[in-house]
A and B are shown apart, each in its own frame.
Chain A
């Protein structure tokens, strides 16, 4: 028999009082693990979304209120298309792609639709080559010191690239690309002809579902939309795919200097709210963790004190038999350690399962176990359990062994 055998047997002999303390400690760790897990993976998803989105800077006409990034071109305000050329020729470090857009309302067989004019990358290449700027390898911007993104690498002429990179390599004057939802609504497929603004267009692609407002749109060449809608050489928005560190650095200042009559908005500002919510959640999880661990600590201390009281004679007997004060202290602190480790482990398991179940359901976030939280949870729970048991253990070790005698 060893000390740990005694601790283990005593725990199993009287498990009920300890279950409450264990539950409180476990709840604290569960709250931390579940919330942290969801927030961390939510942030990773946002980062992933940002990267796959490509565009992380918007150039908008002044006085535009940005409510939704994906609908940022639906405000009705315009600015000259010539701004696109100015940006293309400015060769700003960090600018990887430009995607000007013009949105107009149209009808297909009396069904209202949103037609978005986009400019294929081949137009920029033609322009820059014509200007003799030798930018064929980097069609837009100098790309100096810029991070590599999926958007940058994509030179595929597949129209589906529009769904992920916001740009397309080639697009004919009377060609049309459909979002997934609008294609289903119009029952249109590749090769079909659709009449828009009095002109026939051929559907060359149906985009995969993106889960955004783009799913309900039709895309045509910018110049065709300008011409047929009578809007003239204007655009509603210029989406810029810039590498993150440049977008966060001097690029915004450079853009504002180049186009003073516009509003420059970064995607970071748009996701800021979401990130702030995540941050709040993460901080809250520590608050929950702290509060529940305090409750657990109070509960453990209370249970340990009553445990010492009900075991006075037993402790006295052990001391009479030769148990030292340190042995008695270790007996109680060992029990606290076991509680802390069990509570931490249990909390980690429950919290991870909870996050794995709730993450996809509530936030659409796939959650994986985070081993580092196991260490934090078990460590913190154990420390709290030990600290809470220090005074009861000291009290036990200080008991008068004479209490084992009947008359004492």
Chain B
């Protein structure tokens, strides 16, 4: 479970201070499916970075399973991310010179799995997202939807407890968007916690809960209010 207590994140910009997240108090229970919505520059991605253990807040505390994330060292946070958190990015962020299989192998390699274990697990996951016939293709040889599915398979590699997705459907057409969100819903039904950042209402509708953020201030809202 995530707990954010009085989290504030500010930046120095051109001599002034910009508040990206303002005194945020939030709880995300295990197996929740949360959509963070809001206009561009409202602090959505900053909040996601804070949740991902990649950006220490200016003040406040972020707890994951009761453990303060930013009391850990950088290396400990990296290890925790590797073990518990998976990421999905808007532009997929696949390594262009590796095949689909090798891209999925990366988290497994970082976790110290053997080459055989890596290959077996990566093949299983690519099969799960319907890409068993594309294992040796490089990202440039795949469609946008296929690339995002490879990224989803990579996210699942180390069986993360939490998936943080940054505009996962931002670069996809309508059909592909539905497909990708169906996969995320499926991962949620596996028992994982899903947090997605989006400004797309249809995408947000897949979530069980929506949090609106405006000028760094978060607010739990119902789907009707979002609309």
Residues of A within 8 A of B (CB): 1-3, 5-6, 9-10, 13-14, 313-314, 316-325, 327, 400-402, 404-408
Q: B107: CB under 8 A from chain A?
A: yes
Q: Which residues of B sit under 8 angstroms from A314, Cβ to Cβ?
A: 93, 95-96
User: Are A405 and B78 in contact, CB atoms less than 8 angstroms apart?
Assistant: no
Q: Is the interface of A mostly helix, strand, loop or mixed?
A: helix
28 A-B contacts (beta carbon < 8 Å): A1-B106, A1-B115, A1-B118, A6-B98, A10-B97, A314-B95, A314-B96, A317-B93, A318-B110, A319-B78, A320-B52, A320-B81, A322-B78, A322-B110, A322-B158, A323-B78, A325-B75, A327-B110, A402-B54, A404-B87, A404-B89, A404-B93, A405-B45, A406-B167, A406-B170, A407-B40, A407-B46, A408-B46
| B79 contacts partner chain A, Cβ-Cβ < 8 Å | yes
Residue of A nearest to B97 (CB): A13
What 6 A-B pairs have minimum CB-CB distances, sorted nearest first?
A: A322-B82, A13-B97, A407-B45, A317-B93, A405-B45, A402-B49
Q: How large is the interface on B (under 10, 10 to 19, 20 to 34, 35 or more residues)?
A: 35 or more
Residue B41 interfacial (CB < 8 Å): yes
Bound-state CA distance A406–B90 (Å) is 7
- What 12 new A-B contacts, CB under 8 Å, besides A405-B166, A407-B41? A1-B102, A318-B106, A320-B87, A321-B81, A321-B110, A321-B154, A402-B49, A402-B54, A406-B89, A406-B90, A406-B91, A408-B49
**A10 contacts across to B, CB distance below 8 A:** 97
Is B111 positioned at the interface, with any CB of A under 8 Å from its CB?
A: yes
A326 to B18, CA, bound (A): 32
Provide the bound-state CA to CA distance between A325 and B75, in Å. Answer: 8
Complexed CA–CA distance, A321 and B52 (Å): 10
Kindly provide the distance from the CB of B157 to the nearest chain A CB, expressed in whole angstroms.
Answer: 8
Could you tell me the distance in whole angstroms from the C-beta of A397 to the nearest C-beta in chain B? 10
A406 touches B98 (CB 8 A): no
Separation of A323 and B96 alpha carbons in the complex (Å): 17
Residue of B nearest to A13 (CB): B97
Please tell me which one of the listed residues B45, B93, B105, B167 contacts residue A408 in the complex, with CB atoms under 8 A apart.
B45
Interface pair A402/B78, CB less than 8 Å apart: no
CB distance from A402 to the nearest CB of B (A): 5
Give chain B residues whose Cβ lies under 8 Å from the Cβ of A404. Answer: 87, 89, 93
Complex Cα distance A320/B46, Å? 14
In the assembly, what is the distance between CA of A386 and CA of B69, in Å?
34
